[in-house]
């Protein structure tokens, strides 16, 4: 267990088990949903929901750590590895990071080196069930080695960038590295 974390049984659902901060949960209809992947890439794409489901997908079991101190071990996520998404859009040599934009206007950014791990997914299932709205349906980011504010819910756009951008919580004083093993909670 990373420092100062305690295990609980289930991931708390945003807006249900813990309060939403920006807005009430957005309800995303998969019949009109589009995922835009663009920015510093050779082949920008806009994918509808059935096209998202046709991407190569992976199951990955990982632990989930919220900066407020709760952790959930052995979450079985299913979705698209960021690595596989990059094969589709081909980031330019100048791309260094990606900003994840969400339906509630939340954002967070990660270096491509941080997104390269096999357990980093844009996930649509948890423990064999479709994601619930409070867990980011239909598509959320999962970055197990970072505090959960890097794991964006309700992702609608992945924008590759030259430099790192500060996201919603990172602008408000939380650590931009957010490394759970280094206890990187607040910006220094």
Q: Which residue number, 122 or 135, has a Cβ lying nearer to ligand MTE?
A: 135
Place of tokens 């931009």: 176
Q: Is 5 in the site for ligand MTE (CB under 6 A)?
A: no
Query: What residues line the site for Mo ion (CB under 5 A)?
Result: 149
The binder of ligand MTE chosen from 33, 77, 106, 160 (CB under 6 A): 106
In the complex, minimum distance from the CB of residue 62 to ligand MTE, in angstroms, rounded to a whole number: 13
Contact between 161 and 115 (Cβ < 8 Å): no
Using Cβ positions, the residue closest to Mo ion within the complex turns out to be 149
Q: Of the candidates 95, 99, 117, 119, which has an alpha carbon nearest to the alpha carbon of residue 108?
A: 99
* Total of chain residues touching ligand MTE, rule CB under 6 A: 20
In the complex, minimum distance from the CB of residue 87 to ligand MTE, in angstroms, rounded to a whole number: 25
Place of tokens 């998202």: 52
Q: Is 135 in the site for ligand MTE (CB under 6 A)?
A: yes
Separation between Cα atoms, residue 16 and residue 25, nearest integer Å: 9
Separation between Cα atoms, residue 120 and residue 79, nearest integer Å: 9
**Among ligand MTE, Mo ion, none, residue 114 binds (CB under 5-8 Å by kind):** none
Q: Is 153 in the site for ligand MTE (CB under 6 A)?
A: yes
Query: What is the residue-wise DSSP string for 43-111?
Result: S-EEEEHHHHHHS--EEEEEEEE-TTSEEEEEEEEEEEEHHHHHHHH-B-TT--EEEEEETTS-EEEEE
The binder of ligand MTE chosen from 52, 102, 121, 122 (CB under 6 A): 102
**DSSP state, 138?**
T
Contact between 77 and 59 (Cβ < 8 Å): yes
Site string for ligand MTE, 115-134 (x = CB under 6 A): -------------------x
**Among ligand MTE, Mo ion, none, residue 49 binds (CB under 5-8 Å by kind):** none
Q: Give the binding site for ligand MTE (CB under 6 A).
A: 11-14, 21-22, 66, 102, 104, 106, 134-136, 148-149, 151-154, 169
């Amino acid at each position: 267990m990373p420092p100062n974390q305690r295990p609980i049984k289930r991931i708390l659902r945003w807006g249900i088990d813990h309060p939403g901060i920006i807005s009430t949960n957005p309800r995303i209809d998969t019949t009109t949903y589009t995922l835009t992947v663009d920015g510093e890439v050779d082949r920008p794409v806009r994918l509808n929901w059935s096209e998202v489901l046709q991407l190569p997908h992976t199951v990955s079991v990982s632990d989930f750590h919220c900066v407020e101190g709760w952790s959930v071990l052995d979450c079985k996520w299913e979705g698209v590895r960021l690595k596989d998404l990059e094969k589709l859009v081909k980031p330019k040599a100048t791309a260094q990071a990606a900003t994840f934009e969400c339906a509630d206007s939340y954002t967070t950014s990660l270096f491509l080196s941080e997104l390269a791990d096999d357990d980093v997914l844009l996930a649509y299932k948890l423990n064999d069930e479709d994601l619930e709205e409070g867990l980011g349906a239909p598509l959320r980011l999962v970055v197990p080695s970072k505090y959960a504010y890097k794991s964006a819910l309700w992702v609608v756009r992945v924008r590759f960038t030259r430099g790192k951008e500060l996201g919603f919580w990172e602008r408000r004083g939380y650590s931009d590295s957010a490394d759970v093993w280094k206890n990187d909670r607040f910006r220094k």
